[in-house]
Amino acid sequence: MAHTNTVILASEGVPETRQLLPRVRQIVESNSNLIATLKPGEEIPKETERVVVIGGDGTLINAIRTTLDCEVPVLGVNAGRLGVLAEFDTNSLERNAKMVFGDQPLVRKHLVVQVSIQDRRGTQRFQSVAVNDCVISAGPPFRMIELSLKIDQTEGPSINGDGLIIASPIGSTAYNVSAGGPIVQPTVDALIISAVAPHSLSFRPIVADAETVLEIGISRANLGTTLVLDGQETHPLEEGERLIFRRHLHHAGLIGNPESPYWNTLIEKMRWGAPPTYRDRGT
């Protein structure tokens, strides 16, 4: 038996999570040293070596954000609606327990976006990270906003529209893909720039090198213009402010399911390339 110190994170108020918790706890206790069962947001002990999250992708992203500086591998057991990032169910967790809690887990490293906000005087007033995406949302009264774009000190085009998405590769299948952005394999190190409903026939999504520094200026804003991080953290934005995006110092370490390759996940869960329904084929 491995003596890996493991923490379970679970929202016991969610029925699906509550149903899975006893079995997950049994698997963890049989294969590692379970040191705590916590709710999301509770402090994780310093001696933790694995974090098993029961929930959907949102719960998993929150856990990654809180453990990022500790560089502790995180694993997701899906109890949500989709579970693109939460790759395991209880059966696959049990089958792969020796790998997960052993000396050489399959840890996939994923780029995390760091964002800071500077006020009109150039003073930094805020800094945080995003695992999936950073969204500059126009907000109420829902008029178009205008943003300036600078890539590695090179002036880019102005963007007029409903907002802008700066996504990580792991977040490329979230809001980014809904806005017409590209799907980028999660293990690629890159920054993705996609406009939300741009008032332009020519602006196209951009995939930039991971070392790129992006600067977005708020040229025209609404009263409700907001920065949204991973759909979980919001910060109001004002005209004249600037946002700086770059890769974070640490990667997110997700323990992958060897039975669930990324492209298989796209096909089965995201319905990638699903054909039309043909009457003569019955599909």
Q: What is the pLDDT of residues 31-60, one digit of tens each?
A: 999 999 999 889 999 999 999 999 989 999
3-class DSSP state of 264: helix
Q: Check if the beta carbon of residue 10 is closer than 8 Å to that of residue 17.
A: yes
Residues of the chain within CATH 3.40.50.10330 domain(s) are: 5-110+251-269
DSSP class of residue 68?
Answer: G
Is the domain 113-247 a CATH 2.60.200.30 member? yes
| Level-2 CATH architecture, domain 5-110+251-269 | 3-Layer(aba) Sandwich (3.40)
Tell me which residues are annotated as active site: 57
- Whole-structure pTM value: 0.91
Element (H, E) at 188: none
Q: What is the pLDDT of residues 115-130, one digit of tens each?
A: 999 999 999 999 999 9
Cα–Cα–Cα angle for 198, 58, 247, rounded to 5 degrees = 60
* Distance of alpha carbon 114 from alpha carbon 252, whole angstroms: 12
Torsion over CA of 231, 234, 240 and 245, rounded to 10 degrees? -50
DSSP-assigned states of every residue in 192-258: EEEEES-S-SS---EEEETT--EEEEEEE--TT-EEEETTTEEEE--TT-EEEEEE-SSPEEEE--T
Among candidate residues 171, 175, 206, the one with its CA nearest the CA of residue 192 = 206
Q: What is the pLDDT of residues 256-268, one digit of tens each?
A: 999 988 888 888 7
Q: Write down the pLDDT at residue 282.
A: 52
pLDDT band at residue 283, thresholds of 50, 70 and 90?
A: low
pLDDT at 13 over 80: no
Looking up tokens 């500790």 gives 70
Residues of the chain within CATH 2.60.200.30 domain(s) are: 113-247
pLDDT band at residue 280, thresholds of 50, 70 and 90?
A: low
- 109: phi then psi, degrees, rounded to nearest 5: -90, 130
pLDDT at 83 over 80: no
pLDDT at 276 over 80: no
Q: What is the pLDDT of residues 145-203, one digit of tens each?
A: 999 999 999 999 999 999 999 999 999 999 999 999 999 999 999 999 999 999 998 89
